[in-house]
Amino acid sequence: MKLRYSVIAFLLAGNLFAQTDPVLPRFMTFEEQALLKQLPVPGEFPQTGLVDPPPTPVRAMAEWEELQALLISWRTYPAILTEIVRAAREECRVIICCDNQSTVISATNALTAAGVNLSSNVEFLIAPNNSIWIRDYGPNCVYANDVDSLYLVDWIYNRPSRPKDDTISTTIAPYLNVPLYATTSAPADLVNTGGNFMSDGLGTAFASKLILSENEAGNPYGVSAKNEVQINQVLSEYMGIERYIKMKELPYDAIHHIDMHMKLLDEETLLVGQYPPGVADGPQIEANLAFVLDNYQSVFGTPFKVIRVPMPPENGQYPNTNGDYRTYANAVFVNKTVIVPFYEEQFDTTAQRIWESALPGYHIVGINCNAIIPSLGAIHCITKEIGVSDPLQIVHQELPCMDNVQWPDGYPVWANIAHRSGVESASIHYATDPAGPWQSVDMPVYLADDTSWTHKGFIPLQAANSTVYYYIEAKATSGKTITRPLPAPEGWWSFCVQESVGTENTAVAELLDIYPNPASAITVIPVSATAKTTGRISMYNALGQLAASVYQGEIPAGHTNYFIDASGFVPGAYFVQLQTGEQSLLKKLVIR
């Protein structure tokens, strides 16, 4: 932590409990550290909720999913909060948590004076709190059975000297009429913070290793000691997280929250902050990124896509030379809008261009965060999403470049589409110009030979060297409709159409020997291709039934390894199939 932070912390700590409304930074002040083991009096500020895990499997919501509301706590930095309300109320309800009635009056006056329309989508809720950092202590959204009931999950906040913060979920849950589950009772008592948690919406989450140290034996929060396996189990039971990726803490980020330098943009895309070589947290960020890319793939079985965004300096200085911890990754999705922290025009214009390129059609709103960033937080840190009560989920992997020879029936578009009432219809809209005109084709239910996707349709062949823009629209049996990307048709996915080649030049893929074979744990399925192609790897049991869809998408030129965990399959004989175009290759695999 740089000297400036320490000085601020010292000045704030002197009157921490003497003031009625102390200005608390995101990091723990000196006095808070000294009082860390003096936990709040039991019952003084109760944190309530169902302590047993949800009775049905749950899925942690991704931040880009549809929201019914955005939460903020009206504390310090009213100018920043005002601009958040101005932008977010255009997309959903904004619930402003106020410590008391005088705070409601103060917030109303500030917003009115700034010309923010309070006639709709702005609500004031008396919800006692100590600080502005609602990301870290606010409720987390999960869905029962993927798309059924919305639940809230509340962890133990790692700032015990801010006891009112830890009760905000207790106020929010009945206000929204949503069940609340709390990790407050051993052996599931868990300390965790929202800024150190990001979910892909499909069972994968990212964090720094702060989650391990804050719950280990001898922790200062009074929670039962847990090793990594036990922590993973809690996240699985309460949040539906089955793959919990943890990275080494950054030396200059004193709070060790990943939202200060990275963000998931979709199921397979990571936006990662970038320093000049050798500067500040740059070396550790690069090491962490290499660790993730070398050891994990997206939920689609493909390498994560990575988009880099600069970590800008303050007056030429970075955190290692006493500069502020400026970041453009600390942003929040609010349906079709993304609110991003801004600092200086010379850097902000680059960041805005990167965000707009990464998320076509989204409204990118920048808010000056120079006032708040010395407290080690920005936009993401002071906002919290509440998902809709009835999500209509569309999961799709953006198509790679396609070849007309390889896909003579059209370009296949796969998706998982689900709603609790059922899915009435789905369609693909496509164009060769993002301005239109758009054409549509049906996307019917697809259960023929691949149970990993629920719907499939074909975009008709287009001219070689063209770019195809497309989006998916779905309608639930209840009548609800949605598109993905959410801002469609202004937002879209795209792919290029490669020059068609003769069959003699078509890429040749080879399925190499699987190892170890027989297998009982992690198993390698090696594939070699003479050129980049598109294909699918599937695994069938001895009866010819599909046992697993291992991979589907682009297969790069050269040697690529794909993986399965054999321990998850019933012992016996299986056949692994590689399909690329008209090519179909089989290898036998024995699992014991």
* pLDDT score of 46: 65
Query: Tell me, what's the pLDDT at 35?
Result: 67
The predicted structure's pLDDT at residue 521? 84
pLDDT at res. 500: 61
Look at residue 13 and tell me whether its pLDDT is greater than 50: no
Residue 213's pLDDT band, with cuts at 50, 70 and 90, is very high
Domain ranges (residues) in the chain: 3-387, 393-498, 507-591
Say what percent of the chain tops pLDDT 70: 91
What is the number of other CB atoms lying within 10 angstroms of the CB of residue 499?
Answer: 10
Tell me, what's the pLDDT at 39?
56
Q: Is 0.85 surpassed by the pTM of this model?
A: no
pLDDT of residue 346 exceeding 70: yes
The answer, yes or no, to whether the previous bond of 283 is cis (omega within 30 of 0) is no
> pLDDT at residue 587 above 70?
yes
Report whether pLDDT(115) > 60. Answer: yes
Backbone Cα Rg of the chain: 25
Domains 3-387 and 393-498 alike in fold: no
Distance separating alpha carbons of residues 365 and 59, to the nearest angstrom:
29
pLDDT tens per residue, range 248-289? 999 999 999 999 999 999 999 999 999 999 999 999 999 999
Alpha-carbon distance 351 to 362, whole Å? 14
Nearest partner of 356 among 343, 370, 337, 378, judged by Cα: 337
User: Which residue, among 149, 179, 154, 184, has the nearest Cα to 169 in the 3D structure?
Assistant: 154
Per-residue pLDDT, averaged over 410-436, amounts to 96
pLDDT surpasses 90 at 1:
no
| Residue where the block lists tokens 């006095």 | 31
Contacts of 566 (CB under 8 A, 6+ apart): 519, 520, 521, 522, 523, 589, 591
Question: Residues 79-83: what's their mean pLDDT?
Answer: 98
Higher pLDDT, 21 or 48: 48
Which pLDDT score, from 0 to 100, does residue 407 have?
A: 86
Provide the terminal-to-terminal Cα distance of the chain, rounded to the nearest Å.
52
Where does 3-387 sit in CATH, by number? 3.75.10.10
207 band by pLDDT with thresholds 50, 70 and 90: very high
Chain mean pLDDT for the chain: 90
CB 352 within 8 A of CB 366: yes
pLDDT score, position 48: 77
d(CA 328, CA 366): 10
Q: Is 507-591 a CATH 3.40.50.1010 domain? A: no
Residue 573 pLDDT: 86
Residue 195 scores a pLDDT above 90:
yes
Q: What is the pLDDT of residues 444-465, one digit of tens each?
A: 998 654 457 899 999 999 999 9
Q: For 256-278, b where at least 16 C-beta lie within 10 A, e where not — what string?
A: bbbbbbbbbbbbbbbbbbbbeee
Q: pLDDT tens across 48-68, in order?
A: 789 999 999 999 999 999 999
Tens of pLDDT, residue by residue over 119-178, are 999 999 999 999 999 999 999 999 999 999 999 999 999 998 899 999 999 999 999 999
Q: Tokens in use for 60?
A: 């942690």
Distance of alpha carbon 519 from alpha carbon 18, whole angstroms: 64
Class for domain 393-498, per CATH? mainly beta
Residue 291 backbone phi and psi in degrees, to 5:
-60, -45
C-alpha torsion 576→290→194→366, nearest 10 = -110
Is residue 12's pLDDT more than 60?
no
